Amino acid sequence: MGVVNVAQPRDLRAIAHARIKNDWLDAGASSPEGAVVICRKPCILRLETGLTAVCYPFTRRVEAHADLIRRTHATWVLVDEVSSTTTDFLVPALDRLPWRLRLVHEVGGTRAYRIENR
């Protein structure tokens, strides 16, 4: 018998989350070359989509989130329904960012926003 890779429940949620991200891309929210996505699991997004991704700061300070957008030239924000840190840290900062966020795609509680007016 070969080696069996048994995924833990958290891994399964992360994989499902990545599939939602792919659904978002397949639905026509395609990003131009060089797009940068802010999300909770940037490694999974990169592996599943090939897009450059960065994790949001684990703070409620809007300045830290705005600084990340400036430094990385982020063009997308992916708000997931899986991680409690998204609700705790990312969501409270989004309403206070100096840029407009346009909802482009939604699957369940996961939403993809385009950062505009930069």
Residue spans of the domains in the chain: they are 39-116
How high is the pLDDT of residue 30? 56
Query: Please, which pLDDT band fits residue 2 given cuts at 50, 70 and 90?
Result: very low
* Residue among 69, 87, 81 nearest 19 (CA): 81
**Cβ proximity of 42 and 53 under 8 Å:** yes
CB hemisphere CA count around 86 (13 angstroms): 18
3-state secondary structure of 108: coil
pTM score, whole prediction: 0.76
For residue range 19-62, list pLDDT tens digits in order: 656 665 554 455 556 789 999 989 888 887 778 899 999 999 99
Residue 11 has pLDDT above 60, yes or no: no
